[in-house]
Amino acid sequence: MLQQDENTDQGGMSVDEGQMGGTEFTSQIDTGQAGPAKAPVPKSGKKGSRAGRILIYLLVIVGLLIIIGGSLFVIFGDFDTLPRDSNKVAVIYVQGIMITGNLPGGLGYATSEEISKSIQDAADDKNVKAIVLRINSPGGTPAAAQEIVSEIKKAQEHKPVVVSMGDVAASAAYYISAPADHIIANPDTMTGSIGVIWVFENSSEYFDEEGVEFYVAKSGDFKDMGANWRGLSDAEKQYSEVVVLEAYGRFIDEIASGRGLNRSEVKDMADGRIYTGSRAVELGLVDETGNLYDAIDVAAELGGIKGEPTVTYKNKPSLSRILFGSTEGTDDGSGSLVRYLFESPFGWFQA
């Protein structure tokens, strides 16, 4: 008994000593069989915090998708197509030299394909009651003007077409204005310049100085007419006058028909001179002076719209054209398309 008590006392003293100062012994007591086993304490909120992080990631991804989608809509979207208003006036811009071709807008050229397509879209849109052509152009080729005039007349079978002249609407730009139901110009708009011009370049002296020689095999006397390595012969000069007067005659007929004037009256004004908008009103070439919004109001009235019309812009310069149009216009194909107008072997033919 005494031996057991002494052992017990020694054991108790060992425990006390271990608890007070024995680090190694304390570890043995905590994990050994002598003491009760301690259950592991779970970390609170571990699963919840993980789910929260996943939710945050999803919200960030959704937010980025919304931002990207919104940005693409701003760049490429057409806000004018959103309202389902049935009382619309469509505004179509004609800006720059008019040519045929597929150049992107915003390069100083107005292609008949783009403008014709815009007129077709407006004519086919049942919600559009009238069309306004906003013109800022010094002219262009007779062929481009004729293509646009053709679409204007088709559109007029269903709805009125009004022209609003900006800084300049001369030559071929007036060509496409003449058939309109109503023409409005600013008092100092430069318009008129009714006529046709055919320009040939003679660089033969330059080629002689540079020692450049040409051998031309041709099937007819007029086949190389307008080539810049020589001037025109007398017969070619006479023929060029015939061609110009032929195109000029169609120009005169279009104005006489569209403005309700006789050919002699138009010819008296059609010597190529420019008229201000105010003077053009006096001559009967323009109906009244005013700005774009006056033209929209007149178009709405002619289209039978009551109250304030909704204006939709069919080919208004957009952010996508600003961002990408110039890139498309710098390639060799676009440059070649433009150069043909001024460097054509047949001369520069323009109204």
Q: Which residues are designated catalytic?
A: 171, 223
| CA 124 distance to own-chain centroid | 20
The SS3 of residue 312 is: strand
Residues contacting 304, CB < 8 A, separation 6+: 129
**Strand ranges (E), 63-146:** 88-95, 97-99, 109-111, 128-137
CA atoms in the 13 A half-sphere facing the CB of 222: 8
Q: Give me the amino acid identity at 101.
A: G
Q: What values do phi and psi take at 182, rounded to 5?
A: -155, 140
Q: Determine contact, residues 110/97, Cβ cutoff 8 Å.
A: yes
User: Smallest Cα–Cα separation from 115: which of 130, 138, 135, 129?
Assistant: 135
Write down the number of H helices and E strands in the chain.
Answer: 13, 12
Token code pair at residue 338: 């433009």
For residue 91, report the phi and psi dihedrals to the nearest 5 degrees.
-105, 125
254 neighbors 201 (Cβ within 8 angstroms): no
